[in-house]
Chain A
Amino acid sequence: MLLASSQFDELRLDRMSRSFGTVNALKDISLTIRKGEFIALLGPSGCGKSTALNCLAGLLATTGGSIYLDDRRLDQLKPEDRGFGMVFQNYALFPHMTVKANVGFGLKMRGMAKAEAARRVDEALALVRLETQGNKLPGQLSGGQQQRVAIARAIVIEPPLVLMDEPLSNLDAKLRLEMRAEIRRIHNQLGATTIYVTHDQDEALSLADRIVVLRDGTIRQVGSPRDLYENPDHLDVAEFMGYRNRLAGTLVERDGARGTVDVGGVRLSGTVRGNIATGGSAIVVARSDDITVTDDKANALAATVETIEYRGREYVGTARKADGAEVVFHASKPVSVGSPVSLSVDAGRTLIFPA
């Protein structure tokens, strides 16, 4: 393998901002990315993650702050002078060029000698396992193959940074899982540095070394997938990380990081995150797999089952409490819709946030 990625130490975003008129799409994004990292920008639609990527690529001008690649300032450069590779959501392959010409586009623009370019194109196509498709037009390929071509086109120029804008969102579920593994394999094999935009927490968790959670144009939390999954700092990060249940109550007891919240007469304990005084209102968040059906009615949430879905190993259901709050739970045995159910919450994995 001769294809590599170019050398640098770090990419630094310093208070990068972008506003559209009076709307701040991105506000003071500061982040340092080291060579070889796989960074996921995660957030719901409209959080500014695509704006951030386009600002990095130079497709959108920043309105404040700066971007440095080591000592070189990038934010004033045109996209063609930044030397990044980019994979687009809709692939953006040149429809009139063969797969080989598409992959070789960046090399041709750089004026690379034909023999050397052809060798690199073959190598990139081998890396994405499309050796035999080189002479086809993009229109003759399947969606997954087209996305592989787009990846090959981005990596063949050996860019310091590969930018990916929701590259898997147009693929079906099975292909998405396959391509996810492919993308990580290619990243590792090249020693590339990748910034990957997604709204899918599963994708971010499984691919990234570090996840950057964006919300309303600002960074909410940066951390390893495990950090974010187990220790979200904010309520909305927790929600994004799959803590689907929110139960409002009052903090009745606090002992260091542990606390107990009274939720409609039921006492739920968990780890307190943020400042809440005893007697203050609090929100208990829990994942659906940490809420299970129990026979023990003591200290359990009472609710009525509304839906139940079979998920193979177990059942996932929703139930509504008397106060109207919805609870998503897991069950090992089927429960019938409309029947009352007692739900226990795993105290070890429950988080308590200020309301």
Chain B
Amino acid sequence: MADPQPSLRQRLALRGIDGVTLLALPAVLFVLAVFIYPFAYGLLLSFEPKEGGALANYQRFFSDPFLYRTIATTLWLAVPVTIISLALAVPIALRVRLMTRQRLLTTILVLPITLGTVLVAEGLLNYLGPQGWFSRTLMLFGVIEHPLKLTNNYWGVFASLIITGFPFTFLLTLSYVTGIDPALEHAAATHGAGAWQRFRHVFLPLLAPGLAISACLSFVQAFAVFPSAILLGAPAGPTRVISIAAYQAAFEQYDYSMASAIAMIMAAVQMVIVVAILAFRNLFYRGSTAGGKG
């Protein structure tokens, strides 16, 4: 006689489905309600313009320089901010990894996150403004003659994005850096690798996949810049980022369809960059960063 068939419950359990799986249900509902549905709604809305065919919004966006140039403007902020945040985070994390009192530093770095972009922007307006401490100190020491113009232009937004974005990038990078077995560095050093060679041949290749993730998150965060572009930037010109265009379409022209189209374009640009970074990540070794057993 053949073995009795395993029960349905057993067969499901073998595929990893059991009572615990039900715990995922609230999260699934949540994602459907607050992410999938609004996204799909916005996507459909963007194809129902006030006038013209289904693609009229997109045609208008890409034929009006005042609109399509926001993509370049935003990239011109988000890409350098991402690169500079990472370039700062890696060496600092490599140093902090060796420190015993990391918690104090972590606390200091987390503060800007908790304060929020608006408070940071207000602070920077005063500090970097024409009458602010920054210019006044430099003038006092005779480094410059006239106040530097660092607010209501590109540099104000840039500084604000670095300040609010860097802690995220740094903390993420630090966790990747500390995940690398210190014995690997010791092994590299005893076998003749100097500090730069250890970074180049051991740390960098092992960090690259993590840095790619940090870059994605940092980029997406910077690309969605809105409050600081208005408060610290020149929202009519050099820092007219894509989210400002979407905001104006929605709340100044009351054209929700056009605003949705701009949001979709924004999503598409982010997607392209993120996919490119992740494809680059696949070129690297992505396994364990331990040097062996134990």
Contacts and interface: CB of A to CB of B under 8 A. Distances in A.
A229 interface: no
A92 B187 contact: yes
A59 B287 contact: no
A95 B181 CA distance: 10
Interface residues of B, number: 27
B153 interface: no
B192 A83 contact: yes
Nearest to B184: A92
A157 B191 contact: yes
B189 A85 contact: no
B183 A85 contact: no
Interface stretch (B115-123, B199-207, B244-252): B199-207
Provide the main secondary structure of the chain B interface: loop
Contacts of B181: 90, 92
Given A90-B293, A95-B285, A138-B292, A105 B190 contact: no
A82 B190 contact: yes
Given A80-B189, A86-B187, A95 B288 contact: yes
A139 interface: yes
A96 to B, nearest CB: 3
A129 B291 CA distance: 21
Interface string A83-105: 11110111111111000000001
A91 B288 contact: no
A59 B191 contact: no
Contacts, number: 106
B192 A146 contact: no
Contact of B285 (A85, A89, A96): A96
Nearest to B180: A95
A82 B190 CA distance: 8
Interface string A155-166: 001000001000
A157 B273 CA distance: 44
B200 to A, nearest CB: 10
A95 B194 CA distance: 19
A154 interface: yes
B291 A170 contact: no
Contacts of A58: 189-190
B66 interface: no
A154 B206 CA distance: 22
27 contacts: A57-B186, A59-B189, A59-B190, A79-B186, A79-B189, A80-B191, A83-B192, A85-B191, A86-B187, A88-B186, A90-B293, A91-B293, A92-B292, A93-B291, A95-B184, A95-B206, A96-B287, A108-B201, A109-B188, A109-B197, A109-B201, A137-B285, A143-B292, A153-B187, A154-B191, A170-B293, A170-B294
Given A78-B189, A88-B186, 17 more contacts: A58-B189, A59-B189, A79-B189, A80-B191, A80-B194, A84-B190, A85-B191, A88-B291, A90-B293, A92-B184, A94-B187, A95-B206, A96-B287, A109-B188, A109-B191, A109-B194, A154-B191
